A = this chain, B = another copy of it.
Amino acid sequence: MRFTSEQRLDDGVVERAFTLGDIPGILWTPASASASAPVPLILLGHPALGLNRMYPRLLARAQGCAAAGFATATIELPGCGDRPRWPAAEQARADLRRALQAGEPVGDEIIDALILPLVEKSVPEWQTALDALLAQPEIGGPVGYSGGVISIGVRLAVVEPRIVAAGLFAGSFVPRAMFDEARRVTIPLHVLLQWDDEGNDRQAALDLFDAFGSKEKTLLASMGGHTGVPQSAGEHAGAFFVRHLS
């Protein structure tokens, strides 16, 4: 992991851009974090729209987490931002747009082509990032995962034992194969659902919540579309991580 820039924000949070091989990422650490007082870490998941476009929302989430004493980090997803595209994903995105614009149901083959390669490629990258992040002296543990793509969060919750709690955003289509994986998740979960999310299947989100094997899981559904998550929902998610990571 190579840090490429560093700035201290108004609230004392230190924001550092980094690269991990050819993957760009950002690490935010609260003012309180030090080698003698390492802090827990939350991996910030995000939709496949590119880090630059997501930056304002990621920054707001990072600052909220820092106020609760958590470091946060995120990496660019494969095929997003300046990272190389692959044709199948581009085709799947085009097929999705076409289906949504035509008001047609989004078929399983589109969802699989869109999401499954993203999960396959990104999860090992998140794990490599985790190795590097936990090697930083001011970052301890435990580790949480927060946000979408929900299928990435599900896979990480299954394969990565260092992640002890996940706050998942049910705002993306879910391949059928992920329902089986969901049954193998046992860590505490807090799932956010926007009731009228235009790019999401509400019933699939409820079915996925039902499928999770975790004994402790909560679902918080709020009114509004994909980007309309109310501030109170963010506070609820924050309280979830305070309970499980602090």
Q: Which residues of B contact A221 (CB under 8 A)?
A: 209, 218-221
Are A232 and B223 neighbours in the complex by a CB distance under 8 Å? Answer: no
Are B233 and A223 neighbours in the complex by a CB distance under 8 Å? Answer: no
Are B219 and A219 neighbours in the complex by a CB distance under 8 Å? Answer: yes
Complex-state Cα separation, A232 to B190, whole angstroms? 11
- Given contacts A195-B210, A206-B206, A210-B195, whether A222 and B232 have CB atoms under 8 Å apart is no
Q: Which of B214, B215, B220, B230 contacts A219 (CB 8 A)?
A: B220
Q: Which residues of B contact A216 (CB under 8 A)?
A: 223, 230
Q: Which residues of B contact A220 (CB under 8 A)?
A: 218-221, 236
List residues of A whose CB falls within 8 A of some B CB. Answer: 195, 206, 209-210, 214-223, 230, 232-233, 235-236, 239-240, 243
Q: Which residues of B contact A222 (CB under 8 A)?
A: 217-218
Q: Which residues of B contact A217 (CB under 8 A)?
A: 195, 222-223
Q: Which of B214, B230, B239 contacts A232 (CB 8 A)?
A: B239
Complex-state Cα separation, A146 to B223, whole angstroms? 20
Q: Which residue of B lies closest to A240 (CB)?
A: B232
Q: Which residues of B contact A235 (CB under 8 A)?
A: 239
Q: Which residues of B contact A223 (CB under 8 A)?
A: 214-218
Complex-state Cα separation, A223 to B186, whole angstroms? 13
Q: Which residues of B contact A239 (CB under 8 A)?
A: 232, 235-236
Complex-state Cα separation, A240 to B220, whole angstroms? 13
Q: Which residue of B lies closest to A220 (CB)?
A: B220
Q: Which residues of B contact A210 (CB under 8 A)?
A: 195
Complex-state Cα separation, A239 to B234, whole angstroms? 12
Given contacts A216-B230, A218-B220, A219-B219, 14 further A-B contacts (CB under 8 A): A195-B210, A206-B206, A214-B223, A218-B221, A218-B222, A218-B223, A218-B230, A220-B220, A220-B221, A221-B221, A232-B240, A235-B239, A236-B236, A236-B239
A231 nearest CB across to chain B (Å): 9
A235 nearest CB across to chain B (Å): 7
Q: Which residues of B contact A195 (CB under 8 A)?
A: 209-210, 217, 219
Q: Which residue of B lies closest to A209 (CB)?
A: B221
Complex-state Cα separation, A195 to B210, whole angstroms? 8
